[in-house]
Chain A
């Protein structure tokens, strides 16, 4: 197939659409920034969808709540039901949770088919001794059924990834114990916060927001929709990695000083977009 086409949805208040489009292009796909008020039927020409970070509708009422009700989301829900990959990053993840696309029926029987119910929330961070917005670098590692997730299949489980986080409402939570246990049992928590050495831990700052089971990313049953709080698009180039994370990526970046080609090489976040590309190609091959 020709280059997969990905729509990066721009709501009023989105602010990561250009970095996201750059990461999509770097992964060998064609990116188009698609404004929320365009005719939703035009989405039919795209192979995948990304809801980028930012503050859609200024987080009015609740992060992601207003965007979730817009007509364009109906079309994206429909495309996801047909198997198209949908990635929500940060505010995009909040939108996916507010539409019920994530977790999408976990613990409700029926083989995890989407129910349309809102079964969880991305709640305000719980951080020891502080409250509000938190911006830092975090490490994440694949977990659960990550190999079946459209955005993670290219990763190695042995290598934690440094990815920036920047959010005030990033704590995956649910009041329904059956949903919480199903997420674990069904392997839907596909990325967890961890130390630079790869150890999953629940306390702040390793788990920077108090998220359920240190969840950084949760996917639906089919594996084609993922809500992800960290920002992989902000680290698609090696040069974007800080020097002092104490991991192999910082070592690699420091080692690349003076070599502009190496600095422009892939950063740790690029693999998620490459996985999306491979998923789209595989899906097209089956069609």
Chain B
């Protein structure tokens, strides 16, 4: 069993990320503390084979099925069991800026279930595909004096607790983890 992770990024300007960044900086007071905000579509496909076979399957899923990645407008990084086999850790933070990653997904995500069914039946992968998880992988560049402070700052940006606090997650419909 292995976990394939696909991180899919737009080649063009990501308007979702730029709108979120502008809202956080202009409307919510994070202008001096948030220097970078990027997002990637995130897919985790749990497959019933070992890492070596999973790597070949991952490349096929990413580059041949056209289900997750449209090469005209996307780039893709691939991880198997947490190790990149295509692309690399994306930590392009400026000096003095700490990067925090957060994975956000909807609870009860029917689209992920239907994607798993599509892989199994329509695309013929059968029981090799055990489950699919879908989410958004956010990368936050934060001006903070320590890793702990950066994590706390990330929480305050991510978790929507009130009209004044947080933006990226509504905890009543979404789950998140800070990586």
Residues of A at the B interface (CB closer than 8 Å) are 57-58, 60-62, 65-66, 68-71, 73, 77, 98-100, 115-127, 130-132, 171, 173-176
Contact B162 A65, beta carbon cutoff 8 Å: no
The answer, yes or no, to whether B16 is at the interface (CB within 8 Å) is yes
Contact A98 B170, beta carbon cutoff 8 Å: yes
Question: What 1/0 flags go to B86-130 for Cβ under 8 Å of A?
Answer: 000000000000000000001111110110000000000000000
The answer, yes or no, to whether B36 is at the interface (CB within 8 Å) is no
The answer, yes or no, to whether B11 is at the interface (CB within 8 Å) is no
User: Which segment of B19-27, B64-72, B141-149 sits at the interface?
Assistant: B19-27
| Across the A-B interface, the 7 shortest Cβ-Cβ residue pairs | A123-B173, A121-B173, A131-B110, A121-B172, A121-B170, A60-B16, A116-B162
- Write the nearest CB–CB distance from B164 to chain A, whole angstroms: 7
A99-B110 contact given A124-B173, A174-B172, CB 8 Å threshold: no
A66-B19 contact given A121-B173, A126-B108, A131-B114, CB 8 Å threshold: yes
Contact B163 A69, beta carbon cutoff 8 Å: yes
Contact A77 B163, beta carbon cutoff 8 Å: yes
Contact A116 B110, beta carbon cutoff 8 Å: no
Sampled A-B contacts (16; CB under 8 Å): A57-B19, A58-B19, A61-B23, A61-B168, A65-B160, A70-B27, A71-B27, A98-B160, A98-B163, A118-B170, A121-B173, A130-B110, A132-B111, A171-B173, A173-B172, A173-B173
A127-B27 contact given A68-B163, A121-B170, CB 8 Å threshold: no
Contact B172 A118, beta carbon cutoff 8 Å: yes
Q: Which residues of B contact A115 (CB under 8 A)?
A: 162
The answer, yes or no, to whether B179 is at the interface (CB within 8 Å) is no
CA gap between A61 and B15 in the complex, in Å: 10
CA gap between A286 and B172 in the complex, in Å: 38
Contact B108 A69, beta carbon cutoff 8 Å: no
Q: Which residues of A contact B173 (CB under 8 A)?
A: 62, 121-124, 171, 173
CA gap between A117 and B159 in the complex, in Å: 12
Task: Give the bracket for the number of chain B residues in contact with chain A.
Answer: 20 to 34
Contact A123 B172, beta carbon cutoff 8 Å: yes
- Write the nearest CB–CB distance from B114 to chain A, whole angstroms: 5
Residues of B at the A interface (CB closer than 8 Å) are 15-16, 19-20, 23, 27-28, 106-111, 113-114, 160-164, 167-168, 170-174
Residue of B nearest to A61 (CB): B20
**Out of A60, A68, A119, A124, which one reaches B109, CB within 8 Å?**
A124
Q: Which residues of B contact A123 (CB under 8 A)?
A: 106-108, 172-173
- Write the nearest CB–CB distance from A42 to chain B, whole angstroms: 19
Contact A100 B162, beta carbon cutoff 8 Å: yes
- Write the nearest CB–CB distance from A98 to chain B, whole angstroms: 7
Q: Which residues of A contact B19 (CB under 8 A)?
A: 57-58, 60-61, 66
Q: Which residues of A contact B108 (CB under 8 A)?
A: 123-124, 126
**Central interface residue in B28, B170, B174, by most chain A CB within 10 Å:** B170
Contact B27 A124, beta carbon cutoff 8 Å: no
